[in-house]
Chain A
Amino acid sequence: MSGSSRADGRTATQLRPMSASQGVLARADGAVRFGFGDALAICSVNGPMEAKLKEEQLDRATIEVQYRPATGVPGVRARVMEAAIRDIVEASVLANHHPRTLVQVTVQHLNEAGSAMATTLNAVAMALLNAGLPLRSMPATTTCAITADGELLIDPTAEEEAVAASIHTMAFVQEQHQLVYIESTGHYTEEQLAACHELCRAGADKVYAFYRVALEKKLAEEGFVVEAAA
């Protein structure tokens, strides 16, 4: 793999710099704007709150997901996104801790610049953490593209995605590096998928490390005395 093959000067295994603003919406219980470079999504989480009678579930919290793309009206693509967000949220949230309540997850994509799914799912995970909902785990998601000549590129930009032979998005939880979500489009071989898995896992580790740094920063701003790691 050559180091200088990418238009923005990154190496094939390098993510764009991550950014996160936590608690950006004053009236939401949890809200985070997450970005890989200029690919940005904002997610707000509300709950556990009162559910409408017909939505109420006796043994668990009802989860409501809404996704809006950066431009245009929500269509089939938005429904696919919503399904993916729901998968991640239901796998992470311990819904049985708050029966007969409602948890509302709303995502607004701010700028689509590649790795849309990964940007969205990381924003969702951080917003769930920010809202303080009981979570089983924190999923970290990365996207990997395979170019026509078989090169693997992590965190592809929109231009790189447009010419890719296949695109793979994978989410991992930190304990045992478990794969919890995968979405692939295009033509690829089994070996290529295995290589993508390795690359995405390494990328997810970096995302997870970023979660920790972001949480530490938030706690320090809120007046918790955080001791430096020994």
Chain B
Amino acid sequence: MAKIILPGEQVDVFTVDDTVDASLPVCLGPGLVQSETAVHAIQGGLLRSQETARHWWIESNKKRYVPAVGEPVIGQVTSRHAEEYRVDIGGAHTAVLPALAFEGATKKNRPNLKVGALVYARVSLADKDMEPELECVNPSTGRSDGYGELTDGFMVHCGLAHCLRLLRPNAAALTALGQHIPFEVAVGMNGRVWIRADTIDHTILGATMITRSEHVYGDMTTALTASTELDACRRLVKQLVQQL
């Protein structure tokens, strides 16, 4: 179930039928806040819920990133300091990436990132009153989990909803692209996508595909389903390959 909701409108999250365990706590996601007596929307979008788990949230598209803990982001190093790097992640404040928050980093053996370098990192601290912090290592295992510096390749910008779509398993745009060229991709939830393919031509093709696939939905004439989405992406990538 999904319905359109505008900011200020009330959401009834408390009435439940027999199929839902009423003792479960209600969990509010992005776009919803609780006032004294009721739950209100603070964003416009689609109201979604997983009623058996009592989870509620609002889905919408934005361009400006607001950091949240655990999200993967692509940042650009803006300055180097003794113990940390300052990284631009597209939010209101620059993030701090400690020089030791890398796989196998020690005081003597630390990564050497240049100003302007791209890094794929996870947000480890996000609070509205504090600067966000990043890490390129899983603190419990000490492994990089795929995070770290991004070398070569190309970075493009897109809407936050599109990034989320690209992060889903079997994302239509990436599946369609993968049928034509081999590539490596890093998707940040801050509206940045990095891609690297075997040749420069293919990298450009992939980057174009990622930006163009954001707009295939507006032209679709059939109802949007997983298969029509994949078909639309296949048509787009075919068209781009022919132009190559």
Q: Name B's interface SS.
A: loop
Q: Tell me the dominant secondary structure on chain A's binding face.
A: mixed
Does any Cβ of B come within 8 Å of A54's Cβ?
no
List B contacts of A219 (CB < 8 A): 4, 45-46, 60-61
Within 8 A of B (CB), among A126-149: 129, 131-132, 134-138
B2 interface residue per 8 A CB criterion: yes
Cross-chain contact A48 with B218 (CB below 8 angstroms): no
The smallest C-beta distance from A19 to any residue of chain B, in angstroms, reads 18
Cβ proximity bits A25-51 to B, threshold 8 Å, 1 near / 0 not: 000111000000000000000111111
What is the chain B residue whose CB lies nearest that of A225? B224
Q: Is the CB of A137 within 8 A of B128?
A: no
Q: Is A191 part of the contact surface with B, judged by Cβ < 8 Å?
A: no
**Contact between A135 and B92 (Cβ–Cβ < 8 Å)?**
no
Which residues from chain A contact B224 at a C-beta distance below 8 Å?
223, 225
Question: What is the number of contacts between chain A and chain B, taking CB atoms within 8 Å?
Answer: 114
With beta carbons under 8 angstroms apart, the residue of A47, A98, A135 that contacts B8 is A135
Q: Which residue of B lies closest to A92 (CB)?
A: B7
Do A226 and B4 touch across chains, with their CB atoms under 8 A apart? Answer: yes
Q: Scoring B residues 9 to 31 as 1 if CB is less than 8 Å from chain A, else 0, what string do you get?
A: 11000000000000000000000
Say yes or no: A129 contacts B93, CB within 8 Å. Answer: no
The chain B residue with its CB closest to the CB of A227 is: B2
Among B10, B43, B92, B93, the most chain A Cβ lie within 10 Å of the Cβ of B92
Q: Mark A210-230, 1 if CB is under 8 A from B, else 0.
A: 011001101111111111010
Contact present for A174 and B64 (CB under 8 Å): no
B63 touches A136 (CB 8 A): no
Q: Mark A80-97, 1 if CB is under 8 A from B, else 0.
A: 000000000000101001
A167 at the B interface (CB under 8 A):
no
What is the bound-complex CA distance between A219 and B43, given in angstroms?
13
Query: Which residues of A have CB within 8 Å of B7?
Result: 92, 129, 134-138
Establish whether residues B92 and A131, one from each chain, have CB atoms under 8 Å apart when the complex forms.
no
Chain B contacts for A28, CB-based, 8 A? 63
Docked pose: A221 CA to B218 CA in angstroms: 4
Interface membership of B161, Cβ < 8 A: yes
Cα of A225 to Cα of B217 in the assembled complex, Å: 10
Chain B 207-230 interface mask (CB, 8 Å, partner A; 1/0) = 000000000111000001000010
In this assembly, does A99 line the interface, its C-beta being within 8 Å of a C-beta of chain B? yes
Interface string of A167-209 (1 = CB under 8 A from B): 0000001110000000000000000000000000000000010
Contact digits for B59-79, partner A, Cβ 8 Å, 1 yes 0 no: 111111010000000000000
Identify the 3 closest CB pairs spanning chains A and B, nearest first: A223-B217, A137-B8, A132-B62
